[in-house]
Structure 1
Amino acid sequence: MIEMAITCLALNLYHEARGEPEIGQWAVAQVTMNRAEHDPAKVCDTVFKPRQFSWTNPLVEAPTPEIRRARAENYMPREAQAWELAKKIARRTLQGRGRNVVGGATHYHADYVAPRWASTFSQVAQIGSHVFYR
Protein backbone atom coordinates (compact mmCIF):
# COMPACT_ATOMS: atom_id res chain seq x y z
CA MET A 1 0.00 0.00 0.00
CA ILE A 2 2.80 2.44 0.83
CA GLU A 3 4.36 2.01 -2.62
CA MET A 4 1.04 2.91 -4.25
CA ALA A 5 0.75 5.99 -2.01
CA ILE A 6 4.29 7.01 -3.00
CA THR A 7 3.39 6.65 -6.68
CA CYS A 8 0.16 8.65 -6.35
CA LEU A 9 1.83 11.42 -4.36
CA ALA A 10 4.81 11.50 -6.73
CA LEU A 11 2.50 11.74 -9.76
CA ASN A 12 0.76 14.67 -8.12
CA LEU A 13 4.06 16.42 -7.41
CA TYR A 14 5.31 15.74 -10.93
CA HIS A 15 2.21 17.11 -12.64
CA GLU A 16 1.41 19.94 -10.25
CA ALA A 17 4.86 21.25 -9.38
CA ARG A 18 7.74 19.80 -11.39
CA GLY A 19 8.61 23.25 -12.77
CA GLU A 20 8.69 24.77 -9.29
CA PRO A 21 11.67 25.08 -6.94
CA GLU A 22 12.11 22.00 -4.76
CA ILE A 23 10.60 23.79 -1.75
CA GLY A 24 7.45 24.31 -3.83
CA GLN A 25 7.23 20.59 -4.44
CA TRP A 26 7.52 19.97 -0.70
CA ALA A 27 4.67 22.45 -0.22
CA VAL A 28 2.43 20.64 -2.70
CA ALA A 29 3.25 17.35 -0.96
CA GLN A 30 2.25 18.88 2.35
CA VAL A 31 -1.06 20.18 0.98
CA THR A 32 -1.82 16.76 -0.48
CA MET A 33 -1.09 15.08 2.85
CA ASN A 34 -3.16 17.66 4.74
CA ARG A 35 -6.09 16.86 2.46
CA ALA A 36 -5.48 13.13 3.00
CA GLU A 37 -5.49 13.70 6.77
CA HIS A 38 -1.87 12.46 6.88
CA ASP A 39 -3.10 8.91 6.18
CA PRO A 40 -1.10 7.09 3.49
CA ALA A 41 -4.15 4.92 2.82
CA LYS A 42 -6.04 8.04 1.68
CA VAL A 43 -3.39 9.55 -0.60
CA CYS A 44 -4.50 7.97 -3.89
CA ASP A 45 -8.18 8.67 -3.22
CA THR A 46 -7.27 12.28 -2.41
CA VAL A 47 -5.17 12.77 -5.55
CA PHE A 48 -7.82 11.27 -7.81
CA LYS A 49 -10.87 12.80 -6.15
CA PRO A 50 -12.76 14.83 -8.78
CA ARG A 51 -11.92 18.54 -8.97
CA GLN A 52 -9.03 18.37 -6.49
CA PHE A 53 -6.04 18.72 -8.81
CA SER A 54 -6.23 20.05 -12.35
CA TRP A 55 -4.14 17.33 -13.95
CA THR A 56 -6.44 14.53 -12.71
CA ASN A 57 -9.68 16.00 -14.07
CA PRO A 58 -9.36 14.44 -17.55
CA LEU A 59 -8.80 11.06 -15.90
CA VAL A 60 -11.48 11.03 -13.22
CA GLU A 61 -14.08 12.58 -15.51
CA ALA A 62 -13.58 10.02 -18.30
CA PRO A 63 -16.88 8.29 -19.08
CA THR A 64 -15.46 4.74 -19.18
CA PRO A 65 -12.53 2.83 -17.68
CA GLU A 66 -11.16 2.25 -21.18
CA ILE A 67 -11.01 5.97 -21.91
CA ARG A 68 -9.52 6.60 -18.46
CA ARG A 69 -6.71 4.10 -19.16
CA ALA A 70 -6.07 5.58 -22.60
CA ARG A 71 -5.88 9.10 -21.16
CA ALA A 72 -3.60 7.92 -18.35
CA GLU A 73 -0.90 7.11 -20.92
CA ASN A 74 -0.62 10.86 -21.56
CA TYR A 75 0.23 11.43 -17.90
CA MET A 76 3.11 8.99 -17.52
CA PRO A 77 6.23 10.89 -16.40
CA ARG A 78 8.61 11.56 -19.28
CA GLU A 79 11.20 13.74 -17.55
CA ALA A 80 13.38 11.27 -15.66
CA GLN A 81 15.12 13.75 -13.35
CA ALA A 82 11.85 15.45 -12.35
CA TRP A 83 10.20 12.06 -11.78
CA GLU A 84 13.05 10.87 -9.54
CA LEU A 85 12.84 14.05 -7.44
CA ALA A 86 9.06 13.70 -7.12
CA LYS A 87 9.44 10.11 -5.93
CA LYS A 88 12.13 11.12 -3.41
CA ILE A 89 9.96 13.88 -1.96
CA ALA A 90 6.90 11.60 -1.90
CA ARG A 91 8.78 8.81 -0.13
CA ARG A 92 10.26 11.14 2.50
CA THR A 93 6.91 12.84 3.03
CA LEU A 94 5.18 9.51 3.62
CA GLN A 95 7.96 8.50 6.02
CA GLY A 96 7.21 11.61 8.06
CA ARG A 97 10.46 13.25 7.00
CA GLY A 98 8.85 15.97 4.90
CA ARG A 99 9.60 19.66 5.14
CA ASN A 100 6.89 21.68 6.87
CA VAL A 101 6.80 24.76 4.65
CA VAL A 102 3.09 25.69 4.51
CA GLY A 103 1.75 24.51 7.85
CA GLY A 104 -1.88 23.46 7.67
CA ALA A 105 -2.45 24.63 4.10
CA THR A 106 -5.08 22.63 2.27
CA HIS A 107 -5.37 24.59 -0.97
CA TYR A 108 -3.22 26.32 -3.52
CA HIS A 109 -3.43 27.74 -7.01
CA ALA A 110 -1.11 29.12 -9.62
CA ASP A 111 -0.48 32.83 -9.26
CA TYR A 112 -1.86 33.55 -12.73
CA VAL A 113 -5.41 32.49 -11.80
CA ALA A 114 -7.90 33.89 -9.28
CA PRO A 115 -10.27 31.13 -8.17
CA ARG A 116 -13.51 32.13 -6.45
CA TRP A 117 -12.72 30.02 -3.40
CA ALA A 118 -9.46 31.85 -2.60
CA SER A 119 -11.21 34.69 -0.77
CA THR A 120 -12.72 32.20 1.71
CA PHE A 121 -9.28 31.04 2.96
CA SER A 122 -6.28 32.71 4.59
CA GLN A 123 -3.18 32.95 2.44
CA VAL A 124 -0.19 31.44 4.23
CA ALA A 125 2.57 31.52 1.60
CA GLN A 126 3.59 32.05 -1.97
CA ILE A 127 6.30 29.73 -3.20
CA GLY A 128 7.35 29.92 -6.80
CA SER A 129 4.22 30.39 -8.86
CA HIS A 130 1.86 28.81 -6.30
CA VAL A 131 -0.16 30.62 -3.62
CA PHE A 132 -1.05 28.50 -0.56
CA TYR A 133 -4.08 28.79 1.75
CA ARG A 134 -5.64 27.30 4.85
Structure 2
Amino acid sequence: MSAPHPLPAASAAGELLARILHAEAGGRPVKAVEGLACLAMNRAHAALASPEGRLRFAAGTAPETLPRALIAVLRAPFQFPVLHPRHRRHARFAHPRDDDPFLAVCRRVAQRALSGALRDTAGGATHWHADTLQPAWALGRVPCAEFGGLVFYRLEG
Protein backbone atom coordinates (compact mmCIF):
# COMPACT_ATOMS: atom_id res chain seq x y z
CA MET A 1 0.00 0.00 0.00
CA SER A 2 1.40 3.40 -0.91
CA ALA A 3 1.65 6.32 1.49
CA PRO A 4 -1.06 8.96 1.20
CA HIS A 5 -0.16 11.94 -0.93
CA PRO A 6 0.41 15.10 1.07
CA LEU A 7 -1.97 17.96 0.49
CA PRO A 8 -0.71 20.81 -1.69
CA ALA A 9 0.55 23.68 0.47
CA ALA A 10 -2.45 25.92 -0.32
CA SER A 11 -4.95 23.20 0.65
CA ALA A 12 -3.02 22.33 3.81
CA ALA A 13 -2.75 26.01 4.78
CA GLY A 14 -6.46 26.55 4.18
CA GLU A 15 -7.50 23.58 6.29
CA LEU A 16 -5.08 24.46 9.10
CA LEU A 17 -6.31 28.06 9.14
CA ALA A 18 -9.95 26.92 9.10
CA ARG A 19 -9.41 24.61 12.08
CA ILE A 20 -7.62 27.31 14.05
CA LEU A 21 -10.38 29.80 13.26
CA HIS A 22 -12.97 27.21 14.28
CA ALA A 23 -11.30 26.61 17.64
CA GLU A 24 -10.12 30.15 18.43
CA ALA A 25 -13.23 32.02 17.31
CA GLY A 26 -15.51 29.39 18.83
CA GLY A 27 -18.88 30.44 17.40
CA ARG A 28 -18.20 34.19 17.41
CA PRO A 29 -19.66 36.38 14.64
CA VAL A 30 -18.24 36.04 11.13
CA LYS A 31 -16.56 39.47 11.45
CA ALA A 32 -14.44 38.10 14.33
CA VAL A 33 -13.53 35.01 12.28
CA GLU A 34 -12.55 37.24 9.35
CA GLY A 35 -10.49 39.48 11.63
CA LEU A 36 -8.57 36.51 12.98
CA ALA A 37 -8.00 35.22 9.43
CA CYS A 38 -6.69 38.65 8.40
CA LEU A 39 -4.36 38.67 11.41
CA ALA A 40 -2.95 35.27 10.39
CA MET A 41 -2.42 36.52 6.83
CA ASN A 42 -0.74 39.72 8.12
CA ARG A 43 1.68 37.55 10.09
CA ALA A 44 2.33 35.36 7.02
CA HIS A 45 3.06 38.44 4.90
CA ALA A 46 5.43 39.72 7.61
CA ALA A 47 7.20 36.34 7.64
CA LEU A 48 7.70 36.56 3.88
CA ALA A 49 8.86 40.17 4.00
CA SER A 50 11.72 40.19 6.48
CA PRO A 51 14.01 38.18 8.75
CA GLU A 52 12.43 39.96 11.74
CA GLY A 53 8.96 38.85 10.62
CA ARG A 54 10.17 35.28 10.18
CA LEU A 55 11.69 35.27 13.65
CA ARG A 56 8.69 36.92 15.29
CA PHE A 57 5.86 35.01 13.64
CA ALA A 58 7.23 31.88 11.91
CA ALA A 59 9.76 30.53 14.43
CA GLY A 60 12.60 31.65 12.16
CA THR A 61 11.65 29.48 9.18
CA ALA A 62 12.11 30.99 5.72
CA PRO A 63 9.05 30.03 3.65
CA GLU A 64 9.12 30.74 -0.07
CA THR A 65 5.39 31.05 -0.77
CA LEU A 66 2.42 32.60 0.99
CA PRO A 67 0.74 29.24 1.75
CA ARG A 68 3.99 27.91 3.26
CA ALA A 69 4.44 31.15 5.22
CA LEU A 70 0.92 30.79 6.56
CA ILE A 71 1.59 27.19 7.61
CA ALA A 72 4.79 28.29 9.37
CA VAL A 73 2.93 31.08 11.18
CA LEU A 74 0.05 28.83 12.20
CA ARG A 75 2.38 26.12 13.51
CA ALA A 76 4.81 28.45 15.30
CA PRO A 77 4.84 28.19 19.09
CA PHE A 78 2.74 30.64 21.11
CA GLN A 79 0.92 32.12 18.11
CA PHE A 80 -2.46 30.41 18.55
CA PRO A 81 -3.20 28.95 22.00
CA VAL A 82 -5.64 26.24 20.80
CA LEU A 83 -2.72 24.31 19.32
CA HIS A 84 -1.57 23.37 22.80
CA PRO A 85 -2.97 19.93 23.73
CA ARG A 86 -4.02 21.16 27.19
CA HIS A 87 -5.98 24.15 25.90
CA ARG A 88 -9.68 23.85 26.72
CA ARG A 89 -10.67 24.18 23.02
CA HIS A 90 -7.88 22.04 21.56
CA ALA A 91 -10.31 19.21 20.74
CA ARG A 92 -12.27 21.66 18.54
CA PHE A 93 -9.04 22.16 16.58
CA ALA A 94 -7.79 18.57 16.56
CA HIS A 95 -11.08 16.75 15.98
CA PRO A 96 -13.67 19.05 14.40
CA ARG A 97 -16.95 17.57 13.29
CA ASP A 98 -17.13 17.72 9.51
CA ASP A 99 -20.87 18.45 9.65
CA ASP A 100 -20.37 21.51 11.92
CA PRO A 101 -21.83 24.54 10.06
CA PHE A 102 -19.40 26.89 11.86
CA LEU A 103 -16.47 24.84 10.49
CA ALA A 104 -17.92 25.33 6.99
CA VAL A 105 -17.99 29.10 7.60
CA CYS A 106 -14.37 28.98 8.80
CA ARG A 107 -13.32 27.02 5.71
CA ARG A 108 -14.92 29.62 3.43
CA VAL A 109 -13.25 32.47 5.31
CA ALA A 110 -9.88 30.67 5.17
CA GLN A 111 -10.16 30.18 1.40
CA ARG A 112 -11.10 33.82 0.87
CA ALA A 113 -8.12 34.89 2.99
CA LEU A 114 -5.67 32.67 1.08
CA SER A 115 -6.99 33.75 -2.31
CA GLY A 116 -6.62 37.42 -1.42
CA ALA A 117 -10.38 38.02 -1.68
CA LEU A 118 -10.75 38.91 2.01
CA ARG A 119 -10.30 42.62 2.74
CA ASP A 120 -8.10 43.24 5.82
CA THR A 121 -10.79 44.24 8.29
CA ALA A 122 -8.26 43.86 11.13
CA GLY A 123 -6.39 46.98 9.98
CA GLY A 124 -2.98 45.34 9.62
CA ALA A 125 -3.21 43.69 13.06
CA THR A 126 -0.58 41.17 14.10
CA HIS A 127 -1.71 40.72 17.72
CA TRP A 128 -5.04 39.94 19.38
CA HIS A 129 -6.77 38.86 22.53
CA ALA A 130 -10.28 38.13 23.74
CA ASP A 131 -11.99 41.15 25.25
CA THR A 132 -12.33 39.23 28.52
CA LEU A 133 -8.53 39.32 28.95
CA GLN A 134 -6.05 42.15 29.34
CA PRO A 135 -2.56 40.84 28.56
CA ALA A 136 0.38 42.92 29.79
CA TRP A 137 1.58 43.65 26.25
CA ALA A 138 -1.77 45.35 25.45
CA LEU A 139 -1.68 47.83 28.36
CA GLY A 140 -1.60 51.39 27.05
CA ARG A 141 -2.03 50.32 23.42
CA VAL A 142 -4.92 51.39 21.22
CA PRO A 143 -6.65 48.59 19.30
CA CYS A 144 -6.99 48.98 15.54
CA ALA A 145 -10.15 46.83 15.42
CA GLU A 146 -12.67 45.01 17.62
CA PHE A 147 -15.14 42.38 16.44
CA GLY A 148 -17.29 39.88 18.27
CA GLY A 149 -15.29 39.85 21.48
CA LEU A 150 -11.84 39.88 19.86
CA VAL A 151 -9.53 42.88 20.08
CA PHE A 152 -6.84 43.46 17.41
CA TYR A 153 -3.60 45.45 17.53
CA ARG A 154 -0.95 46.47 15.04
CA LEU A 155 2.33 46.48 16.93
CA GLU A 156 5.31 48.15 15.31
CA GLY A 157 8.87 46.94 15.78
Report the number of matched residues: 123
Q: How does 1:89-128 map to 2 (within 5 A)?
A: 89-119=109-139, 121-128=141-148
C-alpha deviation, 1:47, in angstroms = 1.1
Q: Does 1:51 align with 2:78?
A: yes
In the superposition, relative to structure 1, how do residues 73 and 124 fare at CA in structure 2: closer, same or farther (>3 Å)?
Answer: closer
Mapped to 2, the partners of 1:10 and 1:22 lie a distance apart of 12
Deviation sequence 1:4-38 (CA, Å, 0-9, x none): 01011111111111311111110000000111117
- Alignment RMSD: 2.1
Stretches of structure 2 that go unaligned for 5 or more consecutive residues are 1-8, 47-65
Q: How does 1:28-107 map to 2 (within 5 A)?
A: 28-37=36-45, 39-58=66-85, 75-78=94-97, 80-107=100-127
Q: Percent identity?
A: 35
Larger proportion of helix: 1
> Is the radius of gyration larger for structure 1 or structure 2?
2
Match of 1:23 in 2: 31
What TM-score comes out, normalization by structure 1 length?
Answer: 0.82
What TM-score comes out, normalization by structure 2 length?
Answer: 0.71
In the superposition, relative to structure 1, how do residues 55 and 74 fare at CA in structure 2: closer, same or farther (>3 Å)?
Answer: closer
Mapped to 1, the partners of 2:103 and 2:133 lie a distance apart of 26
In the superposition, relative to structure 1, how do residues 73 and 22 fare at CA in structure 2: closer, same or farther (>3 Å)?
Answer: closer
In the superposition, relative to structure 1, how do residues 28 and 74 fare at CA in structure 2: closer, same or farther (>3 Å)?
Answer: closer
User: Structure 1 runs of 4+ off > 3 angstroms?
Assistant: 71-74
Q: Secondary structure at the match of 2:14?
A: helix
C-alpha deviation, 1:72, in angstroms = 7.0
Stretches of structure 1 that go unaligned for 5 or more consecutive residues are 60-70
In the superposition, relative to structure 1, how do residues 80 and 21 fare at CA in structure 2: closer, same or farther (>3 Å)?
Answer: same
